[in-house]
Each structure stands twice: as C-alpha cells, then as structure tokens.
C-alpha cells in the first residue's frame, strides 16, 4: 500500500472546503485540469469516490467526509513537524522570543545578547490563542505568557506579577473611587471578556463580540457597554481620557511567566530564562 501524498491531500482539502474545483485550483495556484486529475487519481488510489459531481455542483461523499476529518489534522501535524525541524536546525544560532502587547522584552533581550552575541534573537508577537501551539511546534522558542496557561507540555518560569486593574467609563459612578473590589464590579456592571479565538465553540454561545485587541476592548468600555479587567501594563500603555482604570484590590495579581516547550531542552533557552528573571521588573 503506497503512502498517501500530502500534496494531494492538500488539494483534496482545498476542494472539499470550497466544493468548487476551479476556485480551489486558483487558491492552490495550479490550473483546474491539474486539480481535477489529482482528485481523480486520489479517488482511484483509494478505490472510492470522494465527491459526487453532478449538475448541482460538487459535494462530499461519506468517505470524503471521513478523509477530510483525517486530512486536516494530518496536514497540521506535518506542518508542525516541519516547523519543529526548522527550529531544531537553527537551535544553536537563533532564539525566537514570543511576546504579547504590554510585555516588555527589550531588557531581557539586551541582557541575553550581551552574554551570547553570536546568537540572533528574533522577537515576534504571538496571538494569545496561538501561543501554546507556537511554542510546541517551534515557531517560537520561548514566550512571555500570562498565567494561567491552559496547554500541556509547556515549562513555565514565573517572572513577576502586576496588579490587576479594572477599566470603566470615565463617567461611571465607581470611577470616582481610588480602588475597587471584584464584588463591586460583579454587582454593578457587566464584564466584557476578551474573546481571542475567532470562534471558540462553533455554534455555541459566544461572548459579546470578537474582540481581539486591548484597544478594541477599551473602545467598548468607553462606549459604556461594560467594564473589563486588565493587567496594569496594559492600562498604562493604552491610557485614554474617557476610560478610568483603577486597581482591584481583592483579586490576585496578574502573573507573567516565561514558557517554553517542556521537551527539547536547550542551553539558549535556559540562558534567556535567566536573563528574563534578572531583568524582571521588581514587584509592585
């Protein structure tokens, strides 16, 4: 039994997702006849029909659906493997540091570079909902994260913590105070949650709106649609007159940690971790 061909699988997924050969071919940057032939060849290899093509268009068969379910994770795994190899190949020459808005990385990078001038340090911003993936598949070597982190397979080094703040509209009755408690906020107003994943559970209930950035979040707050929690570095960064930010005294502080893939130890990662620890801001 010959191997499946990942290129053909990718072609198949492209067609299955669009149910349209010509458009899929366009997306794949090949001509439509080539795509038709490849799909036919795949069907022949598997000795089964994957699509029903009739005058109404193209549809998946049951077998096709089965293959689609398998093909997507398989292709993702292949990509991840490829990235991990890429990472291993440059492991002793380059360090890729992931971070998110509001986290200061320059001090640690400078400290690290002083000790390892031969190593190229890349700094790359990482989406929150992708940070664990990015670490595990090798797109970044280490990443600053805010605890808690939900994924397995990551080694975490706590670095520092910062007060948790609440952002509320400037005219809000609570905005006159100097500090707040979570009870006051829970009782008085609706809390906006940052929804990072485009569609966390498809079909299910979802947060107000697909808010992806802190700016967007604050926009909602300024519009009087609610309040939200933020770490202090975020409120410092995005100061605005129509939003007031106050410390919330009874919530545990927001902890920032350095994460890296738990397998695949590396002296460079260890060195960067020490650099990050040395340069972490003092506790507030």
Partner DNA sequence: GATCGGCCATGCGCCGAGGGTATCGCCGAC
Partner DNA sequence: GTCGGCGATACCCTCGGCGCATGGCCGATC
Residues that bind DNA (CB under 7 A): 5, 7-8, 20-22, 29-34, 36-41, 53, 55-58
Question: Is 53 or 110 the residue whose CB approaches DNA more closely?
Answer: 53
Task: Please list the residues that pair with 13 across neighbouring strands.
Answer: none
Task: Decide the pairing of beta strands 142-146 and 94-99.
Answer: parallel
Which one, of 60, 4, 6, 14, lies nearest residue 35 by Cα?
14
Contact partner at residue 194 from DNA, its own copies, none, CB < 5 to 8 Å by partner kind:
none
Dist CA 75 CA 10 (whole Å): 7
Contact 261, 154 (CB under 8 A): yes
* Residue 82 touching its own copies (CB under 8 A): yes
**Cα–Cα distance for residue pair 21/88, rounded to 1 Å:** 38
Decide whether 54 or 118 has the Cβ nearer to DNA.
Answer: 54
Using CB under 8 A, which residues numbered 236 to 265 contact its own copies?
Answer: 264
Closer residue to DNA in complex, CB, 36/113: 36
Number of residues that bind its own copies (CB under 8 A): 32
* Stretch in the footprint of its own copies (CB under 8 A) among 17-25, 44-52, 171-179, 196-204: 44-52
Q: What are the DSSP calls for 19-68, one per residue? A: T-HHHHHHHHTS-HHHHHHHHHHHHHHHTS--EEEETTEEEE-HHHHHHH
Which does residue 153 touch among DNA, its own copies, none (CB within 5 to 8 A, set by kind)?
none
**Of 73-81, 152-160, 198-206, 208-216: span binding its own copies (CB under 8 A):** 73-81
Q: E strand or H helix at 98, and its extent?
A: strand 94-99
d(CA 30, CA 251): 56
> Residue 5 interacts with its own copies (CB under 8 A)?
yes
d(CA 35, CA 28): 9
Closer residue to its own copies (CB): 11 or 238: 11
CB nearer its own copies, residue 71 or residue 95: 71
Q: Which stretch binds its own copies (CB under 8 A): 3-11, 30-38, 103-111, 231-239?
A: 3-11
Residues that bind its own copies (CB under 8 A): 1, 3-7, 10, 46-48, 62-63, 66-67, 70-71, 73-75, 77-78, 80-82, 84-89, 91, 264
């Amino acid at each position: 039994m010959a191997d499946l061909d990942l290129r053909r699988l990718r072609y198949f997924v492209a067609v299955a997702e669009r149910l349209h050969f010509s458009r899929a071919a366009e997306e794949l940057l090949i001509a439509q006849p080539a795509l038709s032939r490849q799909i036919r060849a795949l069907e022949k290899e598997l000795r089964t029909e994957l699509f029903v093509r009739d005058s109404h268009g193209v549809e998946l068969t049951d077998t096709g659906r089965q293959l689609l379910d398998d093909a997507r994770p398989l292709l993702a795994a292949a990509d991840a493997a490829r990235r991990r190899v890429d990472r291993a190949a440059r492991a002793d020459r380059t360090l890729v540091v992931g971070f998110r808005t509001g986290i200061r990385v320059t001090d640690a990078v400078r400290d690290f570079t002083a000790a390892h001038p031969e190593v190229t340090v890349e700094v790359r911003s990482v989406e929150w909902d992708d940070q664990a993936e990015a670490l595990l598949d090798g797109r970044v070597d280490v990443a600053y994260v805010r605890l808690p982190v939900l994924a397995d397979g990551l080694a975490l080094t706590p670095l520092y913590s910062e007060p948790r703040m609440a952002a509320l509209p400037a005219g809000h009755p609570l905005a006159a105070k100097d500090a707040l408690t979570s009870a006051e906020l829970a009782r008085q107003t609706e809390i906006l949650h940052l929804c990072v994943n485009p569609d966390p559970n498809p079909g299910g209930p979802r947060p107000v709106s697909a808010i992806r950035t802190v700016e967007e979040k604050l926009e909602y707050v300024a519009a009087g649609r609610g309040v939200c929690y933020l770490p202090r570095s975020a409120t410092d960064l995005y100061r605005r007159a129509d939003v007031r930010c106050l410390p919330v005294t009874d919530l545990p502080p927001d902890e920032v940690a350095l994460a890296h893939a738990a397998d695949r130890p590396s002296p460079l990662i260890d060195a960067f971790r020490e650099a990050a620890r040395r340069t972490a801001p003092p506790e507030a």
